[in-house]
Amino acid sequence: MTAVGVIGLGSMGGGVAKSLLRAKFDAHVFDVRAEARQAFVAQGAKAAASPAALGAACDVVVVLVVNAEQTEKVLFGEQGAAGAMKKGGVVISSATLAPDVAEQFGARLAEAGLLMLDAPVSGGAAKAASGEMTIMASGPAEAFAKCQKVLDAIAAKTYRLGERAGQGSKVKMINQLLAGVHIAAACEAMALGIRAGADPQTLYEVISNSAGSSWMFQNRVPHILAGDYTPLSAVNIFVKDLGIVLDTAKKFAFPLPLTAAAHQLYLAAAAQGHGLEDDSSVVKVYAALAGLELPKEPAG
C-alpha cells in the first residue's frame, strides 16, 4: 500500500482521509486538534504527532489546510513535512492559494527534491467524503503518474491543467469568483423574496426548477430555510478567497465590480460576527438592513 498523509482534517481534508481509508491506502493524518486525529485513528488511520512525522512516513502528502500561511507552516516550518519527506515524494497542495504563491511553493519543493501538484479542489464536504471531488491540478507528469491511484480514490474528475504550479490555482480562483458571487446573489434573492412576502420554501422550490437557479442556490438556501448556519464553508473562507481573486485581478489592472460587491457582503457578515458561520450567513446582512425575520432552526 502507498502511504498517504493528509494534513488538515476539516470538512474537505476529513473527507479525503475517509476516501483514502475506504480505498485501503495506508492513511496517515495530522491536525492541530487532537480530537480530530483520534477520530480517524478510530477509523483505521495512523495519527502523526507533527507534519514532519507524517512526512517521514508517507510517499504522498495531501495538504488541505485553510490558507497560504498554514500551508507554508505545515510544509516548511520547524516541524514541516517537506523537510522530512523522502526525495521524489509528492505534495498535493489543495488549499486555495494565490497563483503566484502556488508557483513559489512548487519551486521550494523542487529545490528540496520533491514534486508538487498544485491541486485545489471543489465539490463540498459531501463529495469529499464520497471520493467525488473535482480536482484542478497542474504539475510535472511524474507527479501525476506517482499520484494517479490517490487522485482516483479522492476525486471523480481530475483536470490536468499543465506542468507548472500555479495553473491549478488560477482555475480554482475563477471557480471561487463564481461560487462567491452566486452565494451572495442567492442570499440577496432570498432576502428580497422574504421581504416581499413570498413563502421561503415555495420560493426555493420554484427557483430550483427555473432558469435563475444555480448549484450554490440549491446547495446553500436549504441552510437558510433550516435556520442552520453550522459552517460547512465559513464566511471567512470567502473573505479570503475573493480577496485572492481581487488581489490577482489588480495585478492585471482588471476590473471585477461583481466580485468586489460580493466581497463587501462577506466582510459585512464577518463584521457582524458571522465570520465563522456558514457562508449562507450573508443573508443575515440583508436581514439586519431590512429588519427581516429569517427562518429559525427548530427547537430541540
Q: What is the Cβ-side half-sphere exposure of residue 54, based on CA atoms within 13 angstroms? A: 31
- The overall pTM is greater than 0.85: yes
Report residue 299's pLDDT band, with 50, 70 and 90 as the boundaries.
Answer: low
Nearest to 256 by CA among 269, 264, 240: 264
Residues 43-89 pLDDT 10s: 999 999 999 999 999 999 999 999 999 999 999 999 999 999 999 99
Active-site position among 127, 146, 170, 172: 172
Does 157 participate in catalysis according to the annotation? no
- C-alpha dihedral (123, 124, 130, 134), degrees to nearest 10: 20
Residues 224-265 pLDDT 10s: 999 999 998 999 999 999 999 999 999 999 999 999 999 999
DSSP, collapsed to helix, strand or coil, labels residue 166 as coil
Domains of the chain, first to last: 3-165 (3.40.50.720), 170-290 (1.10.1040.10)
C-alpha cell at 73: 507552516
Residue spans of alpha helices (H) in the chain: 11-22, 34-41, 51-57, 68-76, 99-111, 124-130, 141-154, 167-196, 200-208, 215-226, 235-251, 257-269, 283-290
